[in-house]
Structure 1
Amino acid sequence: VTGTPSPHEGDMRYLFEDCSSRIFVLPTLHREIDLITDFRTVISLYRLMRRIRPHIVDSHTAKAGFATRIAAFFLRIFSRNGPLTVHTFHGNVFKGYFKPSKTLAYIWIERALARITDIVIAISPAQKKELVHTYKIASDEKVKVVPLGLELDRFLTCGKLNGKFRHRFSIDKDCFLIGIVGRLVPIKNHVMFLKAAKIFVSEHPDINVRFAVVGDGELRDELESLTRKMGLREKVTFCGWIKGIQAVYSELDALVLTSINEGTPVSIIEAMASCVPIISTCVGGVRDLIGSPKGSIESGDFAVCSRGILCNSGDFLGLARALEYLLNEDEEQKEKRLVAALEFVRQRYSKTRLLSDMESLYTDLLKKNHY
């Protein structure tokens, strides 16, 4: 069951073309808050659940999680065999999205929803810590950690695609190419990426470097305007959404993530599987992927970890310094870190492991509730 993407959002329903007959699209389910359409979504989900009688419903994202769990709750009230509920937090909206008063309201809503949820899934240990201890959304017993699992094979062999992405966007094959992949929205903080780019280009005018912004979103026009004002028009390329993202990773010399808040960033997992060096802000579940720094990171500085490089959120100077370090880093040391990152994602973030984990979780939940 899925909703409709907002303008500038990437639509990934093409991934389900082989099973399109089993996709239910709810036109009223979308990211924006609208009380009337949201109420209609709850009614539509209630009717759908009543018709197909699922044993378990598993929701993802805040809006879908709200509507799904409310519908399931009412079905439990009016039916003896209402579905068990599982909700997955891929991130949260408790930091960097709204004003404090609105954020607090969302926290209380999620706490209430957790009371009618059988299992809450966190996708990293750091995220579970936030949900249980920082925001007190649910108890330790109710929150289970199930890391993401991806089809990694296409990234492990993406070197075969080398040359296509740069050719498409007229990027010199010999330049140092730095990319960022994700929605162009405030929480991703692309302004930090552009400010770091400006510093790097100003301090290294003789280095052949390009910056690729892959993705789309509500801030695209604003970010393109800022790029022109900063004099980076010839250095920064806005690529939009790209199907076959492995072609992008096959060309990058570094992937950057500048988010203010994250769960477990898919782009980092994909880059690690593609053997691309990573520099990221030290937020959310990023440390579970890259490794933890030894002590705190000073302003304007960075930390080299076992599988990537970290800098502080919002610290564009630290990011610029990290890019400079990566450009001049000893190749043997860099290769050691890339190999460690590749083996890490192979072992922990495969699709096979995820399917096994979810099957065990669902089976245990059904047994516990005597299904």
Structure 2
Amino acid sequence: MKKVLFVAAPQSHIMNFHLPFLKYFHDKNYEVFVATKLDREKYKKEMQRDTWVKWNDIDFSRSPFSSKSLKAYKQLKELMKEHQFDLIHVHTPMGGFLGRLAAKNTKQKVVLYTAHGFHFFQGASKVNWALYYNAEKLAAKWTDGLITMNEEDYSNALKLMKNRDNVFKVNGVGVDLSKSCAEQYNDVRAELGIGKDDFVISVVAEFIPRKNHIQIIDAIDLVKKRNPNYKIKVLMAGDGDLIPQIKDIISTKELKDDILLLGFRKDVISVLKASDALALTSKQEGLPKNVMEAMACKLPIITTDVRGNRDLVDNMKNGIVVPLYDVEATANAIEKLYNNDKLRKEFSKCSYEKVQNYSIDNVLIEMDKIYTKFLEV
């Protein structure tokens, strides 16, 4: 039986983005292997359900300087010595680099790498460019196909790969429109005691520095000071190390009644269905799935003008694009959507029309062409 291996540093990456692609190979009668840092407690139910996936616990760390990296590399190498894979598809910076290095040193057949957002990008520090660009340039020599998700990364990838025909751009990881558009969902407004007249903005993002929650918090603070009678609720869904710090900031600004921290939610679609808009003020993105899901739920978007975000949001067509760190512009965008029901409806319609190209069905067709190209060699 043919074998395929997916590699990503955190298991959340596999669970959030890659399950449809694992099933794609399972349906083609491949043995499906995954190498990742397992979180058995968090994903116990899903792992018990998909018993055909062969899970392998790898001691990954997000930091390229961690001492765990050598151990993770050795674990990957042992797995690849034990199995000759017909295709290895690697993801995330550490999973991508160590996975390709192990594949090179065990003489594996085909290695694909999907860049979900290079760590070198327009506006990134010189350190990022020096470290990550050179690491990707080296790893490109061990890569048969390099897959990107936005225009900026695609342009940079063409400079990395010797064979430009093996550089691809796909429409993200795909969003399940049938799920996003379903009528059945939890009534999050009732759960949280939010009124019908409240204007709800959802923020679905891990609490890490890159997601830049402070910009939306400061913008809400400004909006409330300028418009004390506005009925606005912000629902922040996600987990992460910065939650205690964010809680303190919200408390200091006296916004505890306005900004609600929901923690990790498996019913993100329900949160979006309860919302009037989505905000994402991140410093960088690949092609954010939460934005695509919000578009599928017919929401207008407020987002920062960075790679990935601007690929999905056309300013004043399906949302409002604001400069990174610009609190005033973000507050103005919130007020504009709050006060203009007609504009929100126009943005909603455009969001839903645009997201059709990013459906999981379309992305599976795109990936099928790529997989077929390399598996037929």
Instruction: Flag whether TM exceeds 0.5 (same fold).
Output: yes
One of 319, 329, 343 as aligned partner of 2:353? 343
Q: Does 1:221 align with 2:254?
A: no
CA distance in 1 between partners of 2:326 and 2:309 (Å):
16
3-state SS of 1:24 partner: strand
Which residue of structure 2 lines up, in the alignment, with residue 75 of structure 1?
106
Match of 1:312 in 2: 323
Structure 2 segments unaligned to the other structure (5+ residues): 1-33
Distance 1:37 1:116, change over 3 A: same
2:333 to 304, 322, 334: 322
Contact in 2 for aligned 1:96/1:260 (Cα 8 Å): no
- Contact 2:204–2:237 (Cα < 8 Å) also in 1: yes
Match of 1:280 among 293, 303, 308: 303
Alignment partner of 1:182 out of 201, 205, 210: 205
**What amino acid maps onto 1:365 in structure 2?**
F
Are 2:76 and 2:102, in contact at CA under 8 Å, matched by a contact in 1?
yes
Q: Note if 1:334 corresponds to 2:344.
A: yes
Give the AA of the match of 1:343: E
Structure 1 residues 99, 339: CA separation in 2 closer, same or farther (over 3 Å shift)?
A: closer
CA deviations 1:3-61 (Å, max 9, x no partner) are 2368xxx9567545422342323241232446542222222222222323111100110
Whichever residue aligns with residue 52 of structure 1, its letter is H
Q: If the length of structure 1 is used for normalisation, what is the TM-score?
A: 0.85
| Pairing 1:1-371 to 2, within 5 Å after superposition | 1-4=34-37, 14-33=45-64, 35-76=66-107, 82-94=108-120, 100-101=126-127, 103-132=129-158, 136-138=159-161, 140-148=164-172, 149-157=174-182, 159-161=183-185, 164-291=187-314, 303-304=315-316, 306-331=317-342, 333-346=343-356, 348-367=357-376, 370=377
- Provide the identity percentage: 26
1:35–1:229 Cα change, 3 Å: closer
Two-structure CA RMSD over aligned residues (Å): 2.3
In the alignment of these two chains, the number of paired residues is 341
Q: Which sits farther off after the overlay, 140-149 or 223-232? A: 140-149
Secondary structure of 1:66's counterpart equals helix
1:210 positional shift:
1.1
CA distance, structure 2, for counterparts of residue 360 and residue 228 of structure 1: 51
Higher strand share: 2
Residue 3 of structure 2 corresponds to which residue in structure 1? none
1:295 is aligned to none
Structure 1 gaps, min length 5 = 77-81, 292-302
- Confirm or deny: 8 A CA contact 2:35 2:76 kept in the other structure: no
How far apart are residue 92 of structure 1 and its match? 2.2
Change in Cα spacing, 1:13 to 1:285, as seen in structure 2 (3 Å) is farther
Cα displacement string for residues 235-272 of structure 1 (whole angstroms, at most 9, x for unaligned residues)? 11111110121110110111000011111011110000
- Normalised by the size of structure 2, how large is the TM-score? 0.84
